[in-house]
Structure 1
Amino acid sequence: MEAAEMSNSQNGRKPSHGNDAFVPELMPRDEAGFPADDAQTPYVRHGLAGLRAAREVLPGAALLEALGPAGLRRLRGPGGLAVVVEVPTADWCQHVGSALRDIVPFVHVEVRDGSSKTQHKPSEGNDKVARLLCEGARVAGVSHAPERYLPEALVAAADLVIRIGPPSNRVVAETIRAATGKRARRMPVAVAGSLNFDALTSQIRIGSTPRECIARIRSIAEARSGIDPQLGEVPDLETLHGYGSPAMEWARDLVRDLDAWREGRLDWSAVQRTALLYGPPGTGKTSFVRSVAKAARIPLIATSVSGWFTGSNGYLDGVLKAFEGKLALAAAQAPALLFLDEVDAIPSRDGLSARGRDWWTPVITGVLAALDSTTSGDASRLIVVGATNHLSALDPAMIRPGRLFPPIEIARPSVEDLAGILRQHLGADLPGEDLMPVAMLGTGATGAEAVGWIKAARSAARAEGRRMVVADLARAVAPEDDRTPEELAVCARHEAAHAVAARIRDIGTLRSVSLAMSTGTAGSVRALLHGRTLMTRAQIEDLVIVALAGRAMDASSGAANTGAGGGSGSDLAKATELVASIHATFGLGDELAIRGGPDAAVAAMRDDPALRRVVERDLQALYARAVAFVRDHRPAIEAVAERLVATRVLSGEEVERLIRSHAGTPARSNRNGRARDAR
């Protein structure tokens, strides 16, 4: 039989009780089952007899509202019954458990707030629950996260599920009346929605007036839902630049949903509570999350996979406990934003060796289970956001609805966004200056690099005892080049070949080409690739030809050099990964069997000589096509390179004009809109 569900969810509507008018006052004993409070209390000595402390009243009032008359009748009905009560936060558990026992007798009430790592688990206590239910007993469980902490047998067998949401104004008003003897009037919407049990009840004091109680509740609620002190200097969300529409839309939706939830106009279950930010290092994923937390007026709890290892003994149980500790810390401050940085440090099971899989599988499974319980229950009230520099390295099970979803790209900023980032971080410096030329010099840089330029420019100006000028910033972006004229010419031809190939092969929208040096690179080409959902082998091969065009130009101009090789971001590394993926990831080669994601495809070559030979064969063939391309389009490449030496940076539009002026029009396209290459 399906369990009946009762709730006091804040949805802006009065609870429905058939033809009975809802009465906000606590019901007398003969209706609600609360015992008479005959004991003499200290309040009697002060002439406050008949008043009751908020801690005694609030749990029962919230429970009765969630039940309603129909639920109360069901609870008091004859026979055995399995009941699960979900409360807002952990500090409600014991109090609601006591209120439940006062309403109706239970043979056993299991109260679990997660404080015991060994006993508060779904696998504990099932024998007892099953035996009592078989005997026709009445059994209840109370928790802020039932599926995570209560016996799984009780959760599965529940005849009645009672969900107590954040206390409504109706419940708060009745609690205030019980403590002060007077009605509360003119309360703000969802006045106590963001407070836990202890925070709320400590503001409702015997001897106070309702107005004083409400004033204290408002004060602490505003303090707790206000800006985290650590986020005070974080830029406002609406002043950010370079994050793109999907990220900003997600952030605005989250802030709007949280405001609606606080006002009682939206259930917590309707809030978009998860996301995964991905993109290159330095693009500001952490900064973005901090601004989101500030705009949402919720605390930010940040953690990383590496922190779980360094903050524990490094063994399996220690790593999981470190993660669970962060979850518990975030839950204690809910509503809050839990930020999981470097989630790609949890490897995908697809690419693990047998030995690695034995160790990592329990960790991965434990993290996934914790994410499920954290993001699925209404009571958790956590926003969970992950971040990674390598989306393809994540376990596929991590990226699905209910876990870290949706994936949102945080790409490198455009030139316009880069100028906006510079203006934002310059503050009062360089007022009224046109920053677009400086941004053009830094095309392809990240927000983090832009902040570094500003620091370097300010430092240079301080060293000379003067105010910063635009020239300081320009020198920080593109320091004086110590390359010889010959080296500059070689680098320019290399980057020009990439740029012309990107345009004529039509891999996307060419944004810019630059000779500005940055860490590990002597120049760069930025292009926005076509947002294709599906790609053919020919389209992937076009990307390889563009990646190899720089080396082909080097070789045709004298000799190949080290510029195309190097680490994982080098031309040859990208080309190798793409070709390996054709055969081992996408099933577009001679075999359909896959080895895993792109990283796994590259790793597979180390242990599979046959795969390595196939990849090398295809790389050589595509390199030959790149050499032919460079030969056929050399006039345009030389023109772009000459201009690049003079200006250091060219926009995509300027490259297009040079191609047209030196080669007539771009190479003819075939029926599929792909550029023909010389064979």
Structure 2
Amino acid sequence: MSTFDFEFDVPYSDDQRTPNTLAGLLPCAQYVYERLTYSVIDQSSTIASNKSFLMIVSVSNSAWTQLASTAAEMFIQTSRGAAEWTRRVLVHTLATDRLDRDLDRLLSVMSDQTVILCTDVPPHQLPAVLRTLTDIQVIIDPLDAGAMTGMLRRRFKDWDGAWPADCDPSRLAPTVIDVAMTRSADAERAISVLTRLHQTPTLGMRRPSTPRVAPFATLDGYGEAKAWGLQLAADIASYKAGTLQWSDVDDGALLAGPPGTGKTTFVQSLAEHIGCTFTATSYADWQSSGSGHLGDVTKKIAKIFNDAAEVTPSIVFIDEIDTLPARTGSASSQDWWNAVVNALLEHVDGACRPDGVVVIAACNAPERLDPALVRSGRLDRTFHIALPDESALKKIFSSYLQEVVSDADISAVATALAGTISGADVARIARDTRKRARHERRPVIAADLTAAAFPPDYRPQAVQWRVAIHEAGHAVASMAMGNLPSSISIMATASTEGHVRLPNTIGDGTFDDVLSSLIPVLAGRAAETIILGAASVGAGGGPQSDLGRATGMLAALDGMAGLGTRLSISETADGAFVESHMRRLQAEATFLVWRHRDAIINLATVVMTARVLGEHALHRFAVGHGFLPGPLDHNSKRKSGEPA
């Protein structure tokens, strides 16, 4: 792999300072250039300014690093303009075997020089000091059919076709793609050449020299799912050695949890740990194949599993499987969904699936899945992946900030945010922490982390107090019923003004169990009424609002569960049944709030200052107010439900 020399001025003569046009780049470099442009739209002011910054451009394979540096060079010239191109900018490529050698030299020029680092080293394997100082992180995804179509249409202006959906362009080396496109008279000729070369292993893309995800053994916060993964790896090793039949391998699982909890990372890391082929897919992938007709969708599903069967052992990962609705109802599109689910079931079924193929799916809402998908022999083990707890959050924060923020300061933030944010949120907070310090041209301090983790709240004080009362109503009602919430927050997000993560208390699923679980859901509205004198619109809204969730659950009891006014299944519910029970439950929630009014005010006062409280803080509050006895027992906790 080649590298640019370390120059303190950009090595261009005066007549070369005007940026070339995009047409001057080869097709693959154009692709990288466009990815860079789209990825840093929100950072355009930083890039165009005279301030120095560190940008890391991550590619999937070493064959792309030099192309990335060429595209980055053109990108920075175009972004800053010819007049600003005289500013010192370093574009550098970095390989695994040069990490230690190049690090000191990179650090020596970063104080007054913009550095763009192009590398195939996975972000988590870069030195911590580089991860800490990074201002902009760009990940260039491997080529897919859509990207290849765009490259071909850009090269051959009059062509409006599409790259073959059954040919994976990520297996082709970029130099091969560039040669084929530039030497071909038309798109059809280029496609013909490339699809033939696609079958030639020596001309295909080499596998990445280093893993793209964290080692499986280092993953935290996955509980029983990690234990299952380790056992799966051991069983596959025994199967490969001929000492275990595939029928004895536990080869199907479902990962369920909120967005950002690392479900995809878990499966990628597991595949690396096992040393097997990894294929990620989803309904969106199937639907985008061919013309998108039903026949194309089902053929795509079959092809994925057939391809996996040819390179066993392999893992097929189906992301967002809850996109597929259960095979019930009478909607006009139900025939379509039924056919898709039936096609998937045919391949997921362990009795029909070839030996050596493991199927793992991920979703946010497992209750929406067709029951047949999670029956024995299919995705028959469900693991709930929760947001990181305090211990896991400390480790995640430390991986980003341990060299610049003390363990004590990290611990304080992790304790406050435990159970409320994802690993992706931590990465964002770490970036914002570094950005504050770099903009002020000083080292990172604890106050930067605090400010990034708990940004200012510009809502009026009266609104914040109403939110605090509302969320405290949820939390205290749950405590009063003997159930500990895992977190409470009054920090506003794009979708909520605040939230409480309540435990799942449906129990055996009886009528009374379900009704009891809805009382804390309605207690937020009741708290506003009792303590503030009137309810606001905060409990209303869509299906995920307090009233929406309670209404939906009662409608399901009547229309789908046979626990209401009918035994027959129907998509519609008896409106009188739903309304009467909503009013009864609201009355019970109001009585509970009235009994524990002082505790709600106390908790709201605490959360107004802290803004976020994790499970341990809530447990101390619950014990102090007589709601719960004794120490927190993690082994007896019920799994967390959705936020209220």
Query: Partner of 1:16 in structure 2?
Result: none
- Paired with 1:660 and 1:249, the residues of 2 have a C-alpha distance of 33
Q: Secondary structure at the match of 1:350?
A: coil
Q: Secondary structure at the match of 1:568?
A: coil
Query: Partner of 2:635 in structure 1?
Result: none
- Tell me if 1:370 matches 2:347: yes
Residue type of the partner of 2:342?
Answer: T
- Paired with 1:474 and 1:543, the residues of 2 have a C-alpha distance of 35
Identity %: 35
Conservation of the 8 A alpha-carbon contact between 2:390 and 2:415: yes
Q: CA deviation at 1:564?
A: 1.4
- Paired with 1:653 and 1:239, the residues of 2 have a C-alpha distance of 25
- Tell me if 1:584 matches 2:562: no
- Paired with 2:269 and 2:622, the residues of 1 have a C-alpha distance of 43
Query: Partner of 2:537 in structure 1?
Result: 562
Q: Please, which of 295, 312, 335 is the counterpart of residue 334 of structure 1?
A: 312
Conservation of the 8 A alpha-carbon contact between 1:441 and 1:478: no
Q: How does 1:609-628 map to 2 (within 5 A)?
A: 611-628=574-591
- Paired with 1:452 and 1:624, the residues of 2 have a C-alpha distance of 42
In structure 2, relative to structure 1, the CA distance for the partners of 1:337 and 1:350 (3 Å cut) is same
Conservation of the 8 A alpha-carbon contact between 1:301 and 1:338: yes
Q: CA deviation at 1:638?
A: 0.9
- Paired with 2:396 and 2:622, the residues of 1 have a C-alpha distance of 32
In structure 2, relative to structure 1, the CA distance for the partners of 1:652 and 1:280 (3 Å cut) is closer
- Tell me if 1:487 matches 2:463: yes
Query: Partner of 1:156 in structure 2?
Result: none
Q: CA deviation at 1:500?
A: 0.6
- Paired with 1:425 and 1:326, the residues of 2 have a C-alpha distance of 36
> How far does the alpha carbon of each residue in 1:69-111 deviate from its partner, in whole angstroms, 9 at most, with x for none?
xxxxxxxxxxxxxxxxxxxxxxxxxxxxxxxxxxxxxxxxxxx
Q: CA deviation at 1:339?
A: 0.7
In structure 2, relative to structure 1, the CA distance for the partners of 1:310 and 1:231 (3 Å cut) is farther
In structure 2, relative to structure 1, the CA distance for the partners of 1:387 and 1:352 (3 Å cut) is farther
Query: Partner of 1:449 in structure 2?
Result: 425
Query: Partner of 2:258 in structure 1?
Result: 280
Q: CA deviation at 1:377?
A: 6.1
Q: Please, which of 398, 404, 408 is the counterpart of residue 383 of structure 2?
A: 408
Moved more, 342-351 or 454-463: 454-463
- Paired with 1:323 and 1:665, the residues of 2 have a C-alpha distance of 51
Residue type of the partner of 2:584?
Answer: A
Task: Please identify the structure whose Cα radius of gyration is greater.
Answer: 1
Q: Please, which of 233, 237, 241 is the counterpart of residue 216 of structure 2?
A: 237
Q: How does 1:102-251 map to 2 (within 5 A)?
A: 229=208, 232-244=211-223, 246-251=224-229
Q: How many residues align?
A: 426
Q: Please, which of 568, 574, 587 is the counterpart of residue 593 of structure 1?
A: 568
Q: Please, which of 277, 280, 289 is the counterpart of residue 299 of structure 1?
A: 277
Residue type of the partner of 1:366?
Answer: A
> How far does the alpha carbon of each residue in 1:15-67 deviate from its partner, in whole angstroms, 9 at most, with x for none?
xxxxxxxxxxxxxxxxxxxxxxxxxxxxxxxxxxxxxxxxxxxxxxxxxxxxx
Which ranges of structure 1 fall in alignment gaps of 5 or more residues? 1-219, 221-226, 596-603, 668-679
Conservation of the 8 A alpha-carbon contact between 1:509 and 1:529: no
Query: Partner of 2:374 in structure 1?
Result: 399
Residue type of the partner of 2:268?
Answer: R
In structure 2, relative to structure 1, the CA distance for the partners of 1:476 and 1:231 (3 Å cut) is farther
In structure 2, relative to structure 1, the CA distance for the partners of 1:347 and 1:371 (3 Å cut) is same
> How far does the alpha carbon of each residue in 1:513-537 deviate from its partner, in whole angstroms, 9 at most, with x for none?
22233332222223433583x1332
Conservation of the 8 A alpha-carbon contact between 1:231 and 1:290: no
Conservation of the 8 A alpha-carbon contact between 1:312 and 1:318: yes
Q: Secondary structure at the match of 2:484?
A: strand
- Paired with 1:451 and 1:230, the residues of 2 have a C-alpha distance of 24
In structure 2, relative to structure 1, the CA distance for the partners of 1:636 and 1:228 (3 Å cut) is farther
Query: Partner of 1:50 in structure 2?
Result: none
Q: State TM-score, norm by structure 1.
A: 0.58
Query: Partner of 1:344 in structure 2?
Result: 322
- Tell me if 1:639 matches 2:639: no
- Paired with 1:522 and 1:284, the residues of 2 have a C-alpha distance of 25
Which ranges of structure 2 fall in alignment gaps of 5 or more residues? 1-201, 630-644
In structure 2, relative to structure 1, the CA distance for the partners of 1:665 and 1:499 (3 Å cut) is closer
- Tell me if 1:497 matches 2:473: yes
- Paired with 1:535 and 1:370, the residues of 2 have a C-alpha distance of 31
In structure 2, relative to structure 1, the CA distance for the partners of 1:555 and 1:432 (3 Å cut) is closer
Q: How much is the aligned-residue C-alpha RMSD, in angstroms?
A: 2.9
Q: Secondary structure at the match of 1:229?
A: coil
> How far does the alpha carbon of each residue in 1:320-376 deviate from its partner, in whole angstroms, 9 at most, with x for none?
1122222233233322111111222222111342x323333332222222223xx43
- Paired with 2:219 and 2:361, the residues of 1 have a C-alpha distance of 20
Query: Partner of 1:460 in structure 2?
Result: 436
- Paired with 1:232 and 1:427, the residues of 2 have a C-alpha distance of 23
Conservation of the 8 A alpha-carbon contact between 1:228 and 1:294: no
- Paired with 2:216 and 2:265, the residues of 1 have a C-alpha distance of 10
Q: CA deviation at 1:456?
A: 2.3
In structure 2, relative to structure 1, the CA distance for the partners of 1:309 and 1:654 (3 Å cut) is closer
Conservation of the 8 A alpha-carbon contact between 1:268 and 1:378: no
Conservation of the 8 A alpha-carbon contact between 1:279 and 1:389: yes
Conservation of the 8 A alpha-carbon contact between 1:583 and 1:589: yes
- Paired with 1:531 and 1:417, the residues of 2 have a C-alpha distance of 27
- Paired with 1:657 and 1:263, the residues of 2 have a C-alpha distance of 52
- Paired with 2:314 and 2:308, the residues of 1 have a C-alpha distance of 6
- Paired with 1:387 and 1:661, the residues of 2 have a C-alpha distance of 39
- Paired with 1:545 and 1:230, the residues of 2 have a C-alpha distance of 54
- Paired with 2:366 and 2:413, the residues of 1 have a C-alpha distance of 31
- Paired with 1:527 and 1:489, the residues of 2 have a C-alpha distance of 20
- Paired with 1:230 and 1:344, the residues of 2 have a C-alpha distance of 34
